[in-house]
Amino acid sequence: MTEHVPNEVPSARKRGRPKGSTTGTTRAAILKAASKEFSRAGYEAASLRSVARRAGVDPALVHHYFKDKSDLFVQTMRIPVNPGEIIAEAATAPLEEMGEALTRALLATWRKPAFCTAATAMIRGLVSSSSAAKVLRPFLQEQIFSRLGARLPEESAEPRVALVASQVVGLIVARYIIGLEPLASMDDEQVIELVAPTIQRYLTGQLPALNH
């Protein structure tokens, strides 16, 4: 009696990945196209579909390699960690402790050399180039500031988040880009002790100018 051997079922390819594609070259082509599309259209107007058109690939292929537009942008910028994910985690802290949580998360992440290098370049571009700001500002608004604003009262969220941003960007520029002493040489716990209360006041404290 001849033993019946079931037909082998071919393994399914991942959605959007064409037969014969080479992961490295295809992904690199998408990143190159994304860099050009973000520069041309800005973060807000660019889309995965427009990047796919520029790269000459099916949009499903972009989804195959990148989770969403923010993931594509972060990888285009060569930032190893999405700042939005860091903020999202810090924003889970109780509101009255969020100032410390945000400051601690910022300093801990900046200690990672790969993140520090890429993020420093991003901040330099944000403050020195109008074209870079066109690309970066909407990304920061979507991934960072809107996450903070969602935890605050709607009527005061926008100015409070702007004040937090001014403190955070100022801290980054002074400590990591300019190297302003003695701030640059302080250990993290000293910086947290000094800066976190100010951020907390911006988040939840009385701000007289908002009461008029």
Q: Say how many CA atoms lie within 13 Å of 114 toward its Cβ.
A: 8
Provide the residue count of the chain: 212
Average pLDDT over all residues of the chain:
82
Higher pLDDT, 10 or 173: 173
Least confident residue range of 32-41, 73-82, 85-94: 73-82
Question: Is the distance from CB of 156 to CB of 136 less than 8 angstroms?
Answer: no
**C-alpha span between 17 and 19 (Å, rounded):** 7
Question: Is the distance from CB of 66 to CB of 127 less than 8 angstroms?
Answer: no
Q: What percent of the chain has pLDDT over 70?
A: 85
pLDDT tens for each residue of 116-171: 877 777 777 777 667 667 777 788 787 788 888 888 888 899 999 999 989 988 99
Higher pLDDT, 110 or 21: 110
- pLDDT for the residue 196: 97
Q: Is the pLDDT of residue 52 over 80?
A: yes
Both tokens assigned to 20: 């014969």
Q: Is the pLDDT of residue 200 over 90?
A: yes
- In order of start, what are the domains of the chain with their CATH numbers? 23-76 (1.10.10.60), 83-206 (1.10.357.10)
